[in-house]
Amino acid sequence: MDIILASASPRRKELLSNIFSDFRCIPSEIDEVVPEETPLFEVPKILATQKAEDVAKNHPESLVIGSDTVVIAGNEILGKPIDDDDARRMLSLLSGKIHYVVTGCALFMNGESYSFREETEVEFYPLSEEEIENYIASREPFDKAGAYGIQGLGSLFVKGIDGDFFNVVGLPVASLNREIKEFLSKLP
């Protein structure tokens, strides 16, 4: 079976190798657009579906896996910071509070599709200005939703999590593994 991860993320690629030893990465070329009234927790599932569907159009007989991860703080989705000020704003917003990391996953094969989402609650310690500035200086925040990576220096800020650690990294491997098996078992 040909398996395609519709992503260029090195973290997702590494995590998917826990499920499959042989797969290809073909990133989607879509513009990520979500209807304005979409509930925040549904956004990553919609984006994952769009990515997987885009790649599956050219590979209909392959198992195509799409994924998208967002950080939700209050009523705001925190994407990847665009500059130092944006990273500072995001980290200040997360400081001493609970936020949610939500990953949407979508599976496409032979004209069939299925999508789901995984949610993990993350609590940060209160962060000093010095901690925030030192972290920004490390440049780690800049390719990560919410301006931190739990698998790197950002781990120093995490007081606790409730849910799947790997979901916070970018791919909920345990639930994805189970959902893939279920999806494949129902294909005609």
| pLDDT digits (tens), the chain, 188 positions | 999 999 999 999 999 999 999 999 999 999 988 998 999 999 999 999 999 999 999 999 999 999 999 999 999 999 999 999 999 999 999 999 999 999 999 999 999 999 999 999 999 999 999 999 999 999 999 989 999 999 999 999 999 999 999 999 999 999 999 999 999 999 98
The whole-model pTM stands at 0.93
> What residue ranges do the domains of the chain occupy?
3-185
Q: 3-185 adopts what CATH topology?
A: Maf protein (3.90.950)
Q: List, by residue number, the catalytic residues.
A: 68
CA distances, 157 to each of 77, 147, 180 (Å): 19, 12, 33
